[in-house]
């Protein structure tokens, strides 16, 4: 996909069954991938279960830098 379009957001992206305008779906996909990587890491990481995890912090930082939870 490219250009302007609509994309469904699931719960992971901030709201169930929620539609919002996506100005740049390429960038949006990158943000989604960064978040997916964070979730995937957290699901299988022992360090995350114990508490602080540098890898999770790095993944979260990358996601946030891309727009993260505030991306519109």
Write out the residues near Zn ion by the rule CB under 5 A.
45, 47-48, 53, 55-56
Q: Is the C-alpha dihedral spanning 45, 46, 48, 54 positive or negative? A: negative
Residue number, 48 or 66, with CB nearest to Zn ion: 48
Residue number, 50 or 72, with CB nearest to Zn ion: 50
CB of 30 to Zn ion, least distance (A): 21
User: How many residues does the structure list for the chain?
Assistant: 72
Residue number, 42 or 68, with CB nearest to Zn ion: 42
Q: Is the C-alpha dihedral spanning 7, 12, 13, 15 positive or negative? A: positive
């Amino acid at each position: 996909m490219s250009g302007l379009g609509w994309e469904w957001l699931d719960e992971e992206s901030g709201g169930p069954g929620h539609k919002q305008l996506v100005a740049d779906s390429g960038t949006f996909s990158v943000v989604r991938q960064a978040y997916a990587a964070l979730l995937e890491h957290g699901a299988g990481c022992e360090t995350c279960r114990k508490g602080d995890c540098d890898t999770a912090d790095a993944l979260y930082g990358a996601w946030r830098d891309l727009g993260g939870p505030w991306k519109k």
